[in-house]
Structures are given as C-alpha cells and as structure tokens.
Amino acid sequence: MSSALSSKRASTKQSATQKVSPKKYRANRWIRNTLITSIGAALLTACASSPTGRHQLKLFPSSEIDQMGVQSFVQMKEETPSTTNTTTSAYVNCVANQVIAQVPAKYGIDNWEVVVFESDQVNAFALPGGKVGVYTGLLKVANNQDQLAAVIGHELSHVLAEHGNERVSTSFATETGLALAYKVSGEQSTEKDQLFALLGIGSQVGIVLPFGRIQESEADEMGLELMAKAGFQPQQAVNLWQNMAQASGESQPELLSTHPSHENRIKDLQSQMAKANTLYQQAQAEGRIPNCKI
C-alpha cells in the first residue's frame, strides 16, 4: 500500500511538473512583473494636473490630440450642414467670440473656429485644436445670450483642461491593461472569459464614467468663470440647466452617466456663484457688457 501510494504521488508530481515547468513558470512570472512595472512607470510619468489642480492621466502629446480634433471637425463639416441663417450664425459667433476673448494666452490657442450646424440636436461641443460647434437645436433651450455663453464656456473648458487627452489616455490605459492581463494570465477558458468580461464592465463603470463626471463638473466650474469674465450673467447657467432638466425629462441614474445629474449640477453651480458674481461685476465695471441679439 505504502509503495503504491508513493508511486502514485510521484506520478502525480511528475504530471504536474510536466504541465507547468519551473522554467516556464519563472518566465511567465518575469513577463507579468515586467509588464506591471512598465505600465506603472508609464502611468506615473504621464500624470499631470488640470487647471483646477486635479490629477490627470495624459499619455499622448497635445499636438497629436489637437490634430485629431481638427480632423474630426473637418469630417463633421462634410457630414453635417452648416446653417444658412446668417442672423443665427452672427448671434452664436457674437456670444462665442466674447467668451473666447477671456481664454488666457497661456493655453496657446490663437485662432478658434466657430460653426453653427443646422440640426435639432440640443447640443454643442469644442474640440482640441480650437474648434467649436453649436447645433441650432440648442437655441431652443438656451433662451438668451447668457445661457448660450454658459454652454460655450463649458465646452471651451473641456479643451482648456485637455479632457480629450485624458479621456483617450484613460480608455487606452484601461483597455491595454486588460488586454495585457489577459495575455499573461494563462490558457483561455470559459471562466476566464467571463471574468474579463466582468472586469471590462467594472472598469467602464468604475474608471471611465466617473472620469467623465469629474470632467463635466470641472468644465462647469471653469466655464462659469469664463462667461462671468466675459460679462455674461452667471446665474443664467443655473437657469440653463433647469431648462435642460425640463427638456430631457426622465434621465438615467447619475451612477451610469458621464454627466452629473441636473440637480447636482445646479447645486454645484450655486455653490460657485459668489465668486462668479464677483467676476461678473468686475467685467461690467470694465465695460464688458455683451449685447448679442438674434
């Protein structure tokens, strides 16, 4: 019995050794540790700070992100018609140009391009490289020049804070990290596929979307200051989001949204209103009194 048991144990041990040799195990462990170290070093060297002092991950040169923004804008202009209403275009440009004038020179964007697109979308955007798009549908919700300035200030702030670079970098790091982990984790199996599918969902909700909410709140804060410095009434930013809330009706929970809830957004804006009002009063005293009409 003892001899047979010993023989069986030896056979089992030999089989296990054949499945994963010490040399192969050490090699896999070395690859895994090297990858983790390399990724960690890359992330540390890519850390930066946003204009509000928040830590950011930026893996790509700003010039490369700017080029992506310019190319995207060219494509959008080819696919979406610009408005032929010269009054509407002049109005939007009037508001945008006064907000743009308050962008500090340190950001290095000398020439902004503003295009009004003929579309029912209630939206606007700004792209790296100094490109701004406003959909005519937004003017049905942004009821006056101050509310439009709030939107434009918000969108400009996304560019100034390099949120585009941050989004791309975060997505790249998340997807690359999962792919590398999958590669070094051993042979494929149904259980492992399910695990990494869950990790993918977890990373999307736990990393990418919260970054989106943080970016939106940061753009609100920066945009409120920009519009106030341009002489637009900051309180109208709150009125704008109240209009948005009425227009959007039921919306998905904030947890799974890249935007803050309307209630939280309004609450945050109200908390920043004292500083914004001071900037607004200074602008008015210095003669910055916008008068954009449609």
Query: What total number of domains does the chain contain?
Result: 1
* Residue 2 domain flag: no
Of 251 and 35, more confident: 251
Q: Which structural domain, as residue segments, surrounds residue 253?
A: 63-166+207-285
* Residue 228 domain flag: yes
Query: pLDDT tens-digit profile of 144-169?
Result: 999 999 999 999 999 999 998 888 88
DSSP string, the chain: -HHHHHHHHHHHHHHHHHHS-HHHHHHHHHHHHHHHHHHHHHHHHTEEE-TTS-EEE--S-HHHHHHHHHHHHHHHHHHSPBP--HHHHHHHHHHHHHHHTTS-GGG-----EEEEE--S---EEEETTTEEEEEGGGGGTS-SHHHHHHHHHHHHHHHHTTHHHHHHHHHHHHHHHHHHHHHTS-S--HHHHHHHHHHHHHHIIIIIHHHHHHHHHHHHHHHHHHHHHTT--THHHHHHHHHHHHHH-S---GGG-SS--HHHHHHHHHHTHHHHHHHHHHHHHTT-------
Mean pLDDT, the chain, integer: 81
- Residues 104-113, mean pLDDT to the nearest whole number: 92
Catalytic residue among 118, 155, 162, 254: 155
Of 244 and 292, more confident: 292
Q: How confident is the model at residue 5 (pLDDT cuts 50, 70, 90)?
A: very low
Strand partners, 131: 113, 127
pLDDT of the residue at 212 = 85
Other Cβ atoms within 10 Å of 73 Cβ, number = 21
pLDDT of the residue at 275 = 97
pLDDT of the residue at 250 = 60
Query: pLDDT tens-digit profile of 159-212?
Result: 999 998 888 888 887 777 666 666 656 666 676 676 567 666 666 666 666 668
Backbone angles phi, psi at 49, to 5 degrees: -120, 140
The residue among 287, 273, 209, 274 whose CA lies nearest residue 241 is 273
- Residues 19-23, mean pLDDT to the nearest whole number: 55
pLDDT of the residue at 7 = 47
Q: How confident is the model at residue 220 (pLDDT cuts 50, 70, 90)?
A: very high
- Report how far residue 140's alpha carbon sits from residue 151's, in angstroms, rounded to the nearest whole number: 13
Q: Rounded to a whole number, what is the distance in angstroms from the first to the last CA of the chain?
A: 98
* Residue 9 domain flag: no
Q: How confident is the model at residue 252 (pLDDT cuts 50, 70, 90)?
A: low
Query: pLDDT tens-digit profile of 46-94?
Result: 667 788 888 888 888 889 889 999 999 999 999 999 999 999 999 999 9
* Residue 195 domain flag: no
* Residue 48 domain flag: no
* Residue 15 domain flag: no
Catalytic annotation present for 216? no
